[in-house]
A and B are shown apart, each in its own frame.
Chain A
Amino acid sequence: MRELASLVMEYYAECHRAKAEGRPVGWMPPMNGGIEVFYAMGLMPVFPENYSPVCAAFGAAPPHFETSEAMGFSRDLCGYMRNILGYVHGDMHGPLEPMGGLPEPDLIMSFGGGCIPAMKIFQHLERRFPHAKVFRADMPQVALDDIKEHHVAYAVSEMHRFIEFLERNTGRKLDEERLHEAVNLSDEACRLFDRIMSFRRNIPAPFGASEIGLMFVMVTRQGTRTAVDFLSRVLDEVACRAEARQGVVEEERLRLFWDNIPPWYDLGLLRYFEKAGGVVVAETYSSAWSIRLDTGDPIRALAVKSLMSYPLVSCVSIDRRRDMVLRACRDYAIDGAVFHSNKSCVPITLGQADIMKALERELGIPSVTIDGDHMDIRNFSLAQFQTRADAFMETLLERKGR
Chain B
Amino acid sequence: MEIRPGNPASPAEPFRRALSHRGELLEKAARACAGVIGTACTYTPFELVHACGFVPIRLWERPGVVEKAYGLVPGFVCPFMRRCLEEALAGGFRFLSGIVQAYTCDVSCGVVNVWKNNFPLQLCRSLALPYNDGARSRSFLRSELMGLVDDLVAIGGTFSEDSLRRSVDLYGRIRSTLASVLDRLGRTGALGAAETLTLVQAFFVTPPETYLDMLVRLEDELPCGAPPDESRVPVIVSGSVLEDGAVLDLVEESGMRVVFLDLCTGMRALVPAAGAGEDPLESVVDRIMNRTACPSRSLPGQRARDLVLQAESYGARGVIFLFQKFCTPHLADLPVVMAALKDAGVPCMLVEIDGNGIEGQVLTRLETFATIAGAA
Q: A residues within 8 Å of B by Cβ? A: 71-74, 76-78, 81, 112, 115-117, 119-120, 123-124, 126-127, 136, 138, 140-143, 146, 148, 150-151, 153-154, 157, 161, 314-319, 322, 341, 343, 346-347, 349-354
Contact = CB atoms under 8 A, between A and B. Distances in A.
Nearest to B325: A76
A138 B114 contact: no
A299 B147 CA distance: 25
Nearest to A157: B136
A338 to B, nearest CB: 15
Contacts of B5: none
Contact of A127 (B140, B296, B300, B331): B300
B363 interface: no
B111 A350 contact: yes
Contacts of A141: 103, 109, 126, 128
B335 A73 contact: yes
Contacts of B74: 341, 343, 346, 349-350, 352
A385 B336 CA distance: 37
Contacts of A341: 74
21 contacts: A76-B326, A77-B328, A112-B130, A120-B329, A123-B300, A124-B300, A126-B299, A127-B300, A127-B336, A138-B131, A142-B126, A146-B125, A148-B147, A150-B143, A151-B128, A315-B109, A315-B110, A316-B113, A318-B114, A346-B76, A347-B106
The 5 closest A-B pairs by CB, nearest first: A315-B110, A350-B110, A140-B128, A72-B335, A150-B143
A78 B326 CA distance: 10
A262 to B, nearest CB: 17
B77 A346 contact: yes
Interface string B295-336: 010011100000000000000000000000110110111111
Contacts of B326: 76, 346
A315 B109 CA distance: 7
For B110, B137, B147, B333, the residue with the greatest tally of chain A CB atoms inside 10 Å of its CB is B110
Interface of B: 71-74, 76-77, 103, 105-107, 109-111, 113-114, 116-118, 125-126, 128, 130-132, 136-137, 140, 143-144, 147, 296, 299-301, 325-326, 328-329, 331-336, 338-339
A76 to B, nearest CB: 5
A351 B299 contact: no
A315 B301 contact: no
A77 B118 contact: no
Given A126-B299, A127-B301, 12 more contacts: A76-B328, A116-B106, A119-B131, A141-B109, A154-B136, A319-B113, A322-B117, A341-B74, A343-B76, A346-B328, A350-B113, A351-B114
Contacts of A350: 73-74, 77, 106-107, 110-111, 113-114
Contacts of B296: 116
B140 A76 contact: no
B321 to A, nearest CB: 11
Nearest to A81: B332
Contact of A140 (B130, B334, B339): B130
